[in-house]
Amino acid sequence: MRRWAWMLGGLIVWTVHFMGVYAIASLADVVSRADDPAWRMAGLAFSGVCLLAALAITGWAARRRRGADPSTRFGDQLALLGGGVATVAIVWQALPTVIGY
């Protein structure tokens, strides 16, 4: 189970980010307005934390992949790919909050 969590770690972070940003935007829409600056900053802070987690997974996977034996190298490559995809996706999903739409 730990290997699966490692290989899918970046995608798990992306999933948590997607659900969290959606929940923050939905709650903001109910409480006040979705484009209220305080709620936008909360969404950006959450995106920043998720981005740091995805970058940490990517960096850790890149470091582990160099000295890994062939039996674990595939899992490290998947973790690296998932972390990279999650990093790009989190930045892409946070851009509307940054530019205000």
**In the prediction, which pLDDT does 45 show?**
96
CB burial string 18-38: b at 16+ within 10 A, e below: eebbeebbeebeeeeebeeee
| pLDDT above 90 (res 32) | no
Asked if 68 and 76 count as a contact pair (C-beta separation under 8 A), the reply is yes
33-85 pLDDT per residue, tens: 767 888 889 999 999 999 999 999 999 999 887 776 777 888 889 999 999 99
**In the prediction, which pLDDT does 34 show?**
67
Model pTM score: 0.88
| pLDDT above 80 (res 101) | no
Q: Which is higher by pLDDT, 11 or 39? A: 11
